[in-house]
Amino acid sequence: KGRGKNRYARYDRELERHANKEARLAADLRLALGRGEFCLVYQPVVALPHGRPVGGEALVRWRHPDRGLVPPSEFIGVAERTGVIVALGSWVLREACRAASGWLASPAAASGPWRLSVNISARQLREPTFAAEVAAVLAETGLPPERLVAEVTETAVFDNEPAVAALTTLRGLGVSIALDDFGTGHSSLGLLRTIPATVLKVDKSFVDNIAGAEEEVIATAMLQLANGLRMDAVAEGVETSAQADRLHQLGYRQAQGFYFYRPVGAADMGALLAGTAAIAATSPGAASTQ
Ligand code: C2E
Ligand code: MG
Ligand code: MG
Ligand code: MG
């Protein structure tokens, strides 16, 4: 009994330490936001098989004064659990729309049909003011709604009525909706009827082993699903030419991954969309900055 008690005491102490750590990190994130320590990088989405950029995805980074460039895996979860994601997500949305609006200043970029994706958390979608905020940011930055894609996960919208309502409002504005990491979340195919999604992003885990018989069957079924529902399918996390070739053979027309491009800065992304970038002229796999 005594040992059990000790064990619980230790468990409690660990929980408390964890909670303190999260609270500290959440406070740091708020400070960092105020100090302008976040920045966005953009990963091109390309058309297969040639790899020409047809869009981009905004990805947040934290330029920590001591720790350097901190990836989202180290802070998005905490930001979501503590609610900081609402303020951080607002900043990301405004910054991404501002950048995309800037790209449109180049006539070459403005003539292309590209779209920019922004990742949106469940917590943001639950804010009653979310759809109005998006409309306001679009108006303020001058970005046409047709240029914006809201990326959400199945899990974020599963059993989340306010989220579905917000997405329906966004779709009404002309904003596209992408289902991110498709096939890995709390998926229910019925969700595809209730969410006005226009893009299906097939998760990297299916692309990783695309040479495997089962993954190929799943990737093919997902593509058929997207085609049948008149959605675009984007294969995520393409790292090799073999994967790109196989996806193209299966009928995929859009992809994203380090084989084509790693995330780049806003200026490079704009230049890529304008088709004038030096890095666009290099062979796939050669381009990288971060
Ligand atoms: P995601 O939305 O699925 O974004 C794709 C992630 O996969 C990015 O990681 C990207 O750099 C990475 N990736 C792309 N191609 C490849 C590849 O070929 N190989 C490998 N190994 N990785 C590849 P990143 O930037 O670290 O973002 C991770 C996740 O963090 C994102 O996954 C998204 O869920 C979340 N995230 C990033 N930025 C934001 C944001 O602004 N808001 C919210 N709510 N979440 C964000
Ligand atoms: Mg995404
Ligand atoms: Mg994704
Ligand atoms: Mg993913």
202-233 tens-digit pLDDT: 999 999 999 888 889 999 999 999 999 999 99
- With a Cβ cut-off of 6 Å, ligand 1 is lined by 43, 59-60, 71-73, 76, 89, 92, 119, 121, 151, 180-181, 237-239, 256-258, 263
Q: How far is the CA of 276 from the centre of ligand 4 (A)?
A: 28
Asked whether the ipTM of the predicted complex exceeds the cut of 0.90, the reply is yes
Q: What distance in Å separates the CA atoms of residue 222 and residue 201, rounded to the nearest whole number?
A: 9
Predicted local confidence at residue 4, as pLDDT: 67
Q: How far is the CA of 62 from the centre of ligand 3 (A)?
A: 19
171: pLDDT confidence band, cut at 50, 70 and 90? very high
Q: What distance in Å separates the CA atoms of residue 249 and residue 226, rounded to the nearest whole number?
A: 16
Contact partners, residue 186, CB within 8 Å, separation at least 6: 154, 155, 158, 159
Higher-pLDDT residue of 88 and 155 is: 88
Q: What distance in Å separates the CA atoms of residue 18 and residue 9, rounded to the nearest whole number?
A: 14
Ligand at shortest distance from the CA of 256? 1
49: pLDDT confidence band, cut at 50, 70 and 90? very high
> Phi then psi for 258, rounded to 5 degrees?
-60, -25
pTM (whole model) above 0.90: yes
Q: Which residues surround ligand 4, an ion (CB under 5 A)?
A: 181
Q: What distance in Å separates the CA atoms of residue 159 and residue 186, rounded to the nearest whole number?
A: 9
Tokens encoding 78: 């905490």
Tokens encoding 153: 């996960």
Q: How far is the CA of 57 from the centre of ligand 2 (A)?
A: 7
Q: How far is the CA of 2 from the centre of ligand 1 (A)?
A: 46
Ligand at shortest distance from the CA of 151? 2
Mutate to test the pocket of ligand 1, among 62, 76, 94, 254 (most ligand atoms within 8 A of CB): 76
290: pLDDT confidence band, cut at 50, 70 and 90? very low
7: pLDDT confidence band, cut at 50, 70 and 90? confident
Tokens encoding 148: 């914006």
Q: How far is CA 224 from the centre of its chain?
A: 23
Q: Tally the C-alpha atoms within 13 A of residue 250's C-alpha that lie toward its C-beta.
A: 27
Atom of ligand 1 nearest to the CA of 181: 3
